[in-house]
């Protein structure tokens, strides 16, 4: 695997910014440049890269990411890709930085995953005649309002978008409302539905040993303000007649140590993924690593979804559903509303902690309810697969100069 030096040297934020300011002039050019801002987008970039290589096995690829977590995941996700992709941080949206990477890589197609509207980059792409595809494109109503308010400032960058592969009809309508010509907008669907079931994580046996027969509750992508709720669930559920083992995955690395301290303050014994030394029995397994949550869901009997009990709008609900476990979520679901409504019995919506505990207890005590949730999740994926195939078709048409505005 060809990994640029910046993916190996230093992981601190200042070092990453320096490498984004002056992107290295790597030896390998790339026909397709795929950008995913962080972990979730890198996962989709990997899905897309595999599909592109299935069509064209020798297609030269450049894959970038913007955050330390995303850059770190590049090497792990793309390690087995052959021929290797060129991997490095995404340049800062400054003329020198953007020009340096475009000159070095010489891409013939730029693919931006989800929502990546960088004015300098898009302006440079327009001037060079470089086609731009937004894959699994999403645009919230809030972002659409900001773009409309910006008026002429974003008119030029938006005109650089050659094709928008929208996730939903709502996303398609918002891109049209901010000025993307309707002939360039395609309803392709969400590539997250096409991700394969990940293998069990390397710590699977360790978690099963620590759980010691207890059902496993996965608290996934838990925000800082949701930590106390998640950590209260073992005692709340014990009162309901089932005491689970908690696999806790905070959303942000900055919360890992805080989560451990709060768990210990609550009288819970903690084992950390990053620790190689077991300290004996545990009540909580703290997933303090990046990129392992999707596989960790496979160890769960039920999941509590983070980002839904505050004002964040919900995080990735498809990962636990792909693992076939029911999901309990709070009232804040604006980011995932369409998926929640389509998921049926695979999800349970609650209003607060007490109701969440009752819903989790019912699911943990009822194999029949969990079976119905698993079946509903399978139906959901069966209905929505195919976005990656449609996106690849758009990408190859652009790469070959066949795509244009639809009438």
The CATH number of whichever domain residue 68 belongs to comes to 3.40.50.11720
The single residue listed with the structure tokens 């759980």 is 211
Say whether both 238 and 148 belong to one domain: no
Position 9 scores a pLDDT of 37
Residues 222 and 159 in one domain: no
User: 240 to each of 1, 165, 244, 363, 365, how far by Cα in Å?
Assistant: 51, 46, 11, 11, 10
Same domain, 188 and 240: no
Alpha-carbon distances of 43 from 26, 100, 204, 283, rounded to whole Å: 23, 26, 21, 30
Kind and range of the H or E run holding 85: none
Structure tokens belonging to residue 342: 């389509």
Short-list 210, 208, 211, 191, CA closest to 200: 208
- Strand order of the β-sheet with 109-113 is 86-89, 61-65, 32-35, 109-113, 132-137, 163-166, 185-187
Element (H, E) at 69: helix 68-77
CA distance 135 to 190: 9
Domain co-membership, 150 together with 212 = no
CA distance 83 to 58: 6
Same domain (yes/no): 55, 150: yes
Q: Would you tell me how many other CB atoms lie within 10 Å of the CB of residue 190?
A: 23
**Residue with structure tokens 């498809």?**
318
Backbone angles phi, psi at 347, to 5 degrees: -125, 155
Q: What are phi and psi of 246, to 5 degrees?
A: -100, 120
Residue 98 has a pLDDT of 96
| Structure letter (DSSP) for residue 316 | -
Domain count within the chain: 2
Residues sharing a CB contact under 8 Å with residue 267, sequence separation 6 or more, in sequence order: none
Per-residue confidence in pLDDT tens, the chain, 407 aa = 333 333 333 346 677 777 788 787 766 789 999 999 999 999 999 999 999 999 999 999 999 999 999 999 999 999 989 999 999 999 999 999 999 999 999 999 999 999 888 999 999 999 999 999 999 999 988 889 988 888 777 888 889 999 999 999 999 999 999 999 999 999 999 999 999 999 999 999 999 999 999 999 999 999 999 999 999 999 999 998 999 999 999 999 999 999 999 999 999 999 999 997 766 899 999 999 999 999 999 999 999 999 999 989 999 999 999 999 999 999 999 989 999 999 999 999 999 999 999 999 999 999 999 999 999 999 999 999 999 999 999 999 999 997 656 54
Alpha-carbon gap, residue 222 to 228, rounded angstroms = 10
| Cβ-Cβ contacts under 8 Å for 212 (sequence gap 6 or more) | 245, 281
Catalytic residues, which ones?
41
* 166 within a domain of the structure (yes/no): yes
**Within a domain: 307:** yes
- Residue 392 inside a domain? The answer is yes
162 and 292 in a single domain? The answer is no
Both ends of the chain: CA-CA distance in Å?
43
DSSP sequence for 329-394: E-S--GGGHHHHHHHGGGEEE-SSHHHHHHHHHHHHH-HHHHHHHHHHHHHHHHHHTTHHHHHHHH
Tell me, yes or no, whether 405 lies in a domain: no
Residue 132 has phi, psi (to 5 degrees) of -125, 130
- Distance (Å, whole) CA 139 – CA 178: 10
Please give the torsion angle defined by the CA atoms of residues 3, 7, 10 and 15, in that order, rounded to the nearest 10 degrees: 130
250/356 same-domain check: yes
Query: 44 and 183 in one domain?
Result: yes
Specify whether the CB–CB gap between 66 and 89 falls below 8 A: yes
HEC per residue, 322-346: HCCCCEEECCCCHHHHHHHHHHHHH
Q: Judge whether 134 lies within some domain.
A: yes
On whether both 166 and 260 belong to a single domain, the answer is no
Asked if the structure places residue 404 within a domain, the reply is: no
Give residue 27's pLDDT.
63
Q: Which residue has the tokens 């496993």?
A: 216
CA distances (Å), origin 113, targets 81, 136, 145, 181, 238? 19, 6, 20, 19, 43
User: 235 is in which domain, residue-wise?
Assistant: 204-384
> How far, in Å, CA of 407 to CA of 298, rounded?
45
Q: How far apart are CA 121 and CA 42, in angstroms?
A: 19
Q: pLDDT of 333-385, one tens digit each?
A: 998 999 999 999 999 999 999 999 999 999 999 999 999 999 999 999 999 99
Judge if 225 and 372 occupy the same domain. Answer: yes
Q: Is residue 78 part of a domain?
A: yes
């Amino acid at each position: 695997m060809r990994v640029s030096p910046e993916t190996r040297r230093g992981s601190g934020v200042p070092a990453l910014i320096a490498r984004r300011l002056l992107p290295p002039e790597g030896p390998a050019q790339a026909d397709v440049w795929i950008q995913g801002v962080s972990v979730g987008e890198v996962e989709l970039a990997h899905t897309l890269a595999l599909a592109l290589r299935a069509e064209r096995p020798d297609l030269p690829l450049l894959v970038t990411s913007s955050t330390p977590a995303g850059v770190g995941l590049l090497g792990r996700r793309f390690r087995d890709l052959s021929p290797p992709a060129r991997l490095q941080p995404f340049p800062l949206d400054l003329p020198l930085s953007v020009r340096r990477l475009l000159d070095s890589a010489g891409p013939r197609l730029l693919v931006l995953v989800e929502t990546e509207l960088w004015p300098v980059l898009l302006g440079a792409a327009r001037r060079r005649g470089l086609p731009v595809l937004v894959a699994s494109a999403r645009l919230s109503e809030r972002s659409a309002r900001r773009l409309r308010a910006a008026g002429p400032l974003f008119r030029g960058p938006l005109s650089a978008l050659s094709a928008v592969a929208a996730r939903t009809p709502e996303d398609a309508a918002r891109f049209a409302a901010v000025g993307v010509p309707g002939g360039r907008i395609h309803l392709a669907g969400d590539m997250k539905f096409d991700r394969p079931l990940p293998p069990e994580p390397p710590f699977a046996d360790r978690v099963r040993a620590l759980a010691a027969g207890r059902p496993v509750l996965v608290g996934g992508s838990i925000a800082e303000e949701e930590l106390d709720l998640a950590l209260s669930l073992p005692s709340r559920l014990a009162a309901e007649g089932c005491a689970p083992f908690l696999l806790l995955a905070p959303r942000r690395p900055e919360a890992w140590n805080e989560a451990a301290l709060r768990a210990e303050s609550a009288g819970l014994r903690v084992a950390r993924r990053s620790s190689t030394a077991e300290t004996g029995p545990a009540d909580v397994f703290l997933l303090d690593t990046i990129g392992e949550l999707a596989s960790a869901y496979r160890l769960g009997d039920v999941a509590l979804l983070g980002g839904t009990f505050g004002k964040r709008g919900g995080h990735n609900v498809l990962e636990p559903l792909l693992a076939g476990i029911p999901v309990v979520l709070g009232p804040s679901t604006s980011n995932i509303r369409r998926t929640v409504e389509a998921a049926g019995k695979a999800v349970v919506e609650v209003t607060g902690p007490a109701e969440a505990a009752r819903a989790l207890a019912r699911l943990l005590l009822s194999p029949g309810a969990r079976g119905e949730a698993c079946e509903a999740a399978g139906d959901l994926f069966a209905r929505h697969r195919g976005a990656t195939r449609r996106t690849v078709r758009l990408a190859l048409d652009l790469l070959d100069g066949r795509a244009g505005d639809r009438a």
